[in-house]
């Protein structure tokens, strides 16, 4: 926005340039920087690892890690993360919401992940802590069709009639706004009270820290210390009953386990859903065991309470590039381009100026002229319309944009100049990645906070055993989630660099084969940790064959010839190995199959 010198009003630079009779040209240099950042992020995937604080519970921590990855798979978290990363680069804010709800696409209840557009989010703006521990209010603006609003908040016919009265149902019919669809104008110009689409109902979801009195109870019968939904009078009645029962059982009164309780004023998260006029659609204290709101937010860098994305660092360069391109275009338009200067004496008497110009521009044209002494011939003029300094200035601004954003040509994959050493080119790529490391690590911290909240939702709401569908799982992964084993375990979580890239997988396979050749690991250990495409099938065949041998009666440890299924798997393994054409892998594979055939 700039100030119009004529009216004093604030207008966009684009409108100001148009007002001067020029075309506001744009050359988007920011977009290529954002695309490169997203490409770097997608090429370096991360992995969630859960740690049990007791080493004996490592298998259970793996189970929780599988459950979190299962949640990510069913929510297409890879795409959600990429979209959030792009928004983070532009705005400096990344916000997600994580609840447990019925998901119609899956026909089941599960943890639901969703991105929140930063045009719809609001929170207390006096925050200063980069961890957002001083967040006391957060919410979002929601626009729902009337049917969805009724399905969510109307629990009776009376509620339905009341909500219809609040929202004037006649005004909320199905509506399609084709003029503003698939554009950012509706969200960028969001009104606080009224939705851009008149066919929807405006709802405010508000989560706020409020103070209330709570009863903290320490029950000596089981050692628990927690907030209880009892009054001090009710706790006194329970203690009296325990004393009576204990005395009847012959227990000394001083040894009877009682409940010690005290009332304390505490802050809790409280939710309200309101319409634009303040009517309460629903209100409740947080139902989650993590005792917080369902949002996970990170603001970057939150320096002195301010936040911005990487884009803001190069906006000045972007504006100057646009200005230079517009000026260069104006100079080209105003410059002489094949201007023809014709002395009047040179125009024949049987021709006018138009005929002369047509014949001049005609291929093979001939004009008969009689030149008087001292008269100049017609000449064509083309001026050098662009100042060489403007081109150099444009190149300087483009280079400055790369330097400020920290994304050099090497990390963009551009061909180096002749004579550039490979070590120097590689070092430039590493240095460029370091320039954006702080930004990327901040986003990974948000992912840790997100997965921690997802882990707590899983522990709270996964009350029955369930199968986990995990992409690319190995045979040793526990695909069954058992809540009875998980809930008593204390766990922590860490998001680390993943091993899903081809380079990491190749390193792992090479290391496993070296250990196998030296007899450090056996066949099953090799297949359980390998990323080979046929490892799962072969491992399942080996496990199935071992079970068949254990079930054969009368002959302990008896061996039997390979089953047809086993022979088919061996054939598939040999075919896959031949297609890979890797001598080291072929040798290791032949050794594996040789052991299996000898054992049979």
Rounded to whole angstroms, the maximal C-alpha distance in the chain is 142
Q: Rounded to the nearest 10 degrees, what angle do helices 502-517 and 583-599 cross at?
A: 50
Minimum mean pLDDT range among 28-37, 290-299, 492-501: 492-501
pLDDT of 408-419, one tens digit each? Answer: 665 665 666 666
- Asked if residue 22 has pLDDT above 60, the reply is yes
What pLDDT score does 559 carry?
47
What pLDDT score does 530 carry?
75
What pLDDT score does 430 carry?
63
What pLDDT score does 134 carry?
93
Could you tell me which residue, 171 or 482, shows the higher pLDDT?
482
What is the three-class DSSP state of 62? helix
Nearest Cα residue to 559 out of 571, 548, 544: 548
- Asked if residue 454 has pLDDT above 90, the reply is yes
Confidence of residue 328 (pLDDT cuts 50, 70, 90): confident
Minimum mean pLDDT range among 312-316, 328-332, 589-593: 589-593
What is the three-class DSSP state of 100? strand
What pLDDT score does 61 carry?
83
pLDDT of 311-327, one tens digit each? Answer: 888 888 888 888 888 88
Helix (H) or strand (E) holding 428: helix 422-435
**What is the rounded CA–CA span in Å between residue 10 and residue 487?**
59
Q: How many CB atoms lie within 10 A of CB 479?
A: 14
Percent of the chain exceeding pLDDT 70 equals 78
pLDDT of 343-402, one tens digit each? Answer: 777 778 788 888 888 888 887 777 777 777 767 777 777 666 666 667 777 777 777 777
Confidence of residue 535 (pLDDT cuts 50, 70, 90): confident
Provide CB contacts within 8 A for 90, sequence distance 6+. Answer: 34, 309, 311
Q: C-alpha dihedral over 4, 7, 11, 14, to 10 degrees?
A: -60
User: Across the chain, what does the average pLDDT equal?
Assistant: 81
Nearest Cα residue to 46 out of 312, 444, 582: 444
What is the three-class DSSP state of 415? coil
What pLDDT score does 160 carry?
92
Confidence of residue 492 (pLDDT cuts 50, 70, 90): confident
What pLDDT score does 186 carry?
80
What pLDDT score does 386 carry?
62
**What is the rounded CA–CA span in Å between residue 112 and residue 438?**
29
What pLDDT score does 476 carry?
42
What pLDDT score does 273 carry?
97
pLDDT of 378-389, one tens digit each? Answer: 777 766 666 666
pLDDT of 141-183, one tens digit each? Answer: 999 888 889 999 999 999 999 999 898 765 555 555 656 667 7
DSSP state of 117: -
Provide CB contacts within 8 A for 509, sequence distance 6+. Answer: 530, 531, 532, 585
What is the three-class DSSP state of 447? helix
What pLDDT score does 413 carry?
58
Q: Is the peptide bond before 575 cis (omega within 30 degrees of 0)?
A: no
Mean pLDDT along residues 241-265: 92
Q: Whole-structure pTM over 0.75, yes or no?
A: no
Given a contact cutoff of 8 angstroms between Cβ atoms, the answer to whether 257 and 224 are in contact is no
Nearest Cα residue to 594 out of 579, 573, 576: 573
Mean pLDDT along residues 415-440: 69
Query: What backbone phi and psi angles, to 5 degrees, belong to 546?
Result: -65, -40
Confidence of residue 570 (pLDDT cuts 50, 70, 90): low
> Domain limits of the chain?
37-92+387-498, 108-176+186-307, 336-382, 502-599
Mean pLDDT along residues 496-511: 66
- Measure CA 333 to chain center: 45
pLDDT of 182-191, one tens digit each? Answer: 778 788 888 8
What pLDDT score does 439 carry?
87
Q: Report CA torsion sign: 156, 162, 167, 170.
A: positive
Query: What backbone phi and psi angles, to 5 degrees, belong to 2?
Result: -130, 165
């Amino acid at each position: 926005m700039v100030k119009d010198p004529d009216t004093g009003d604030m207008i966009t630079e684009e409108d100001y340039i148009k007002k001067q009779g020029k075309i506001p040209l744009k050359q988007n240099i920011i977009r290529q920087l954002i695309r490169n950042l997203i490409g770097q992020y997608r090429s370096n995937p991360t992995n969630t690892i859960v740690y049990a604080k007791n080493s004996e519970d490592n298998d259970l921590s793996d189970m929780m890690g599988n459950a979190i990855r299962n949640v990510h798979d069913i929510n297409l978290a890879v795409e959600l993360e990429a979209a959030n990363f792009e928004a983070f680069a532009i705005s400096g804010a990344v916000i997600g919401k994580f609840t447990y709800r019925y998901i119609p696409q899956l026909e089941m209840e599960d943890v639901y992940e969703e991105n929140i557009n930063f045009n719809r989010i609001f929170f207390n703006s006096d925050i200063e802590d980069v961890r957002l521990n001083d967040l006391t209010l957060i919410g979002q603006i929601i626009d729902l069709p009337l049917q969805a609003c009724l399905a969510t908040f109307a629990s009776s016919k009376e509620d339905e009639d009341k909500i219809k009265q609040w929202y004037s149902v006649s005004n909320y019919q199905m509506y399609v706004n084709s003029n503003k669809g698939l554009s950012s104008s509706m969200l960028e110009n969001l009104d606080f009270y009224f939705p851009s689409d008149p066919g929807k109902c405006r709802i405010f979801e508000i989560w706020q820290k409020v103070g209330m009195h709570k009863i903290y109870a320490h029950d000596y019968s089981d050692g628990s210390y927690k907030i209880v939904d009892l009054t001090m009078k009710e706790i006194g009645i329970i203690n009296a009953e325990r004393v009576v029962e204990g005395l009847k059982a012959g227990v000394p009164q001083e040894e009877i386990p009682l409940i010690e309780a005290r009332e304390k004023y505490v802050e809790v998260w409280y939710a309200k859903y309101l319409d634009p006029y303040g009517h309460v659609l629903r209100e409740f204290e947080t139902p989650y065991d993590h005792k917080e709101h369902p949002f996970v937010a990170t603001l970057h860098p939150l320096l002195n309470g301010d936040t911005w994305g990487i884009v803001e660092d190069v906006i000045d360069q972007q504006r100057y590039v646009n200005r230079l391109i517009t000026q260069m275009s104006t100079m080209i338009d105003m410059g002489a381009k094949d201007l023809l200067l014709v002395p009047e004496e040179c125009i024949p008497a049987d021709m006018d100026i138009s005929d002369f110009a047509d014949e001049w521009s005609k291929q093979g044209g001939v004009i008969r002229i009689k030149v008087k002494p001292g008269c100049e011939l017609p000449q064509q003029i083309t001026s050098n319309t662009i100042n060489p300094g403007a081109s150099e200035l444009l190149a300087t601004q483009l280079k400055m944009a790369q330097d400020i954003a920290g994304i050099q040509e090497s990390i963009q994959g551009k061909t180096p100049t002749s004579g550039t050493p490979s070590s120097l080119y590689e070092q430039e790529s590493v240095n460029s990645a370091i320039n954006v490391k702080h930004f990327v690590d901040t986003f990974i911290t948000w992912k840790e906070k997100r997965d921690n909240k997802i882990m707590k939702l899983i522990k709270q709401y996964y009350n029955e055993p369930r199968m986990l569908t995990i992409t690319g799982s190995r045979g040793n992964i526990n695909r069954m989630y058992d809540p009875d084993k998980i809930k008593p375990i204390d766990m922590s979580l860490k998001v680390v660099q993943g091993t899903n890239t081809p380079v990491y997988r190749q390193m792992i396979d090479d290391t496993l084969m070296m250990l196998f050749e030296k007899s450090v690991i056996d066949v099953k250990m090799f297949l359980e940790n390998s990323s080979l495409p046929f490892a799962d099938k072969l491992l399942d065949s080996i496990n199935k064959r071992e079970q068949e041998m254990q079930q054969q009666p009368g002959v302990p440890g008896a061996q039997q010839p390979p089953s047809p299924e086993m022979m088919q798997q061996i054939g598939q393994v040999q075919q896959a190995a031949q297609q890979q054409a890797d001598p080291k892998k072929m040798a290791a594979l032949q050794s594996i199959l040789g052991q299996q055939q000898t054992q049979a």
